Structure 1
Amino acid sequence: MEKYPGYLRRPHYYETDQMQIIHHSNYIRWFEEARVDLLEHLGLPYHVLEESGIIVPVLGVSCQYKEMIRYTDAVKIHVTVEKYTGTRLNFAYCITPVTDESKILTTGTSQHCFLQGNSGRLVHLKKANPVFHQLFSDYAAL
């Protein structure tokens, strides 16, 4: 299993404010785009989870802005699995310039749980879907 290489993103003009700086509300969307891409990298896109009857709602999200990102800046969003318990899945995000991945522009986190789509009841993946559980366990251990 390979570590996720990161999500490349070029800002769109409509995501900026009058100063051509990315509006703060867009970072949460960028985190979601990167998270979806990570799940696809793992071979477990959202539609596969949902077709199995499992949904993954967001329980919380945070974002810390270190430096401004402008319309012309190409960035990479690094996503890591911060914690996996079988019922919860937490991600950490770090946005860097493509040209200097050691420079941190923005950081964030999101917390999720696994629910049965039809009942909304909490799901423990180890019991409900051992294949998904193993995949998340293996990746979290990287």
Structure 2
Amino acid sequence: MTRKKEQFSPSKTLKVSKDIRVRFNETDPLGIVWHGNYITYFEDGREAFGRHHGISYLDVKENGYTTPIVKSVCEHKLPLRYGEIATIETTFINTPAAKMIFQYIIFNEQKQVVCTGETIQVFLDNNDSLALNNPPFFQSWKNENGL
């Protein structure tokens, strides 16, 4: 009897899109978004993701952890201007390591890619010790979401 090779499907993709309106205080004298504000937009995306998927900063804190960012990457493609509505698409990248990886794409109103990026967060317990394995609550969250 010939045995069929087991097929593994890729992990489920979790993502969220959030619209924001560019505020005056986020722009430089030329009326375009100052480059440092894109990192804040990434945070807006992470917060929307966390609220939508049940893994917000408050959920993490309630379980005795914090998730500081240890790496951030931001690549600028086009400018955003005061008053424009942008869409932040935030995607969770699954990994077996005890960390959270998010990738971002920011689109302008014309659906053009304005900026792409990635952040990596690790887990620290209440003693600021690095978690080397997924905290139980995070592993449960991953299991519940088919990751």
- Which bracket does the TM-score occupy, shorter chain normalised? 0.7 to 0.9
Question: Which structure 1 residue ranges, 5 or more long, are not aligned?
Answer: none
State the superposition RMSD in angstroms.
2.2
- Which is worse superposed, 65-74 or 43-52? 43-52
Q: CA–CA distance in 2 between the matches of 1:80 and 1:73?
A: 23
Alpha-carbon distance, 1:7 to partner: 1.2
Q: How many Å apart are 1:123 and its aligned residue?
A: 4.5
- Partners of 2:75 and 2:13 lie apart in 1 by 28
Q: Are the counterparts in 1 of residues 39 and 74 from structure 2 also a CA contact under 8 Å?
A: yes
- In structure 2, the CA distance between the partners of 1:3 and 1:110, relative to structure 1 (3 Å rule), is closer
Aligned positions of 1:93-112 closer than 5 A: 93-97=104-108, 99-101=109-111, 103-112=112-121
2:122 to 107, 113, 120: 113
Cα distance between partner residues in 2 of 1:55 and 1:72: 34
TM-score normalised by structure 2 residue count: 0.82
Shift of 1:121: 2.8
Quote the residue 1:76 is aligned against: 87
Contact kept? 1:88, 1:113, Cα under 8 Å: yes
112 and 64 in structure 1: CA distance in 2 versus 1, 3 angstrom threshold: same
Count of aligned pairs: 136
- Asked if the contact 1:86/1:133 (under 8 Å) is kept, the reply is no
1:41 aligns with 2:52: yes
| Partner residue, 1:57 | 68
* Structure in which a larger fraction of residues adopt helix: 1
Instruction: Assess if the C-alpha contact under 8 Å between 2:45 and 2:88 holds in 1.
Output: yes
TM-score (norm 1): 0.84
Identity value in percent? 24
Residues 8-23 of structure 1 aligned to structure 2 (within 5 Å)? 8-23=19-34
Q: Which runs of 5+ in 2 are unaligned?
A: 1-11
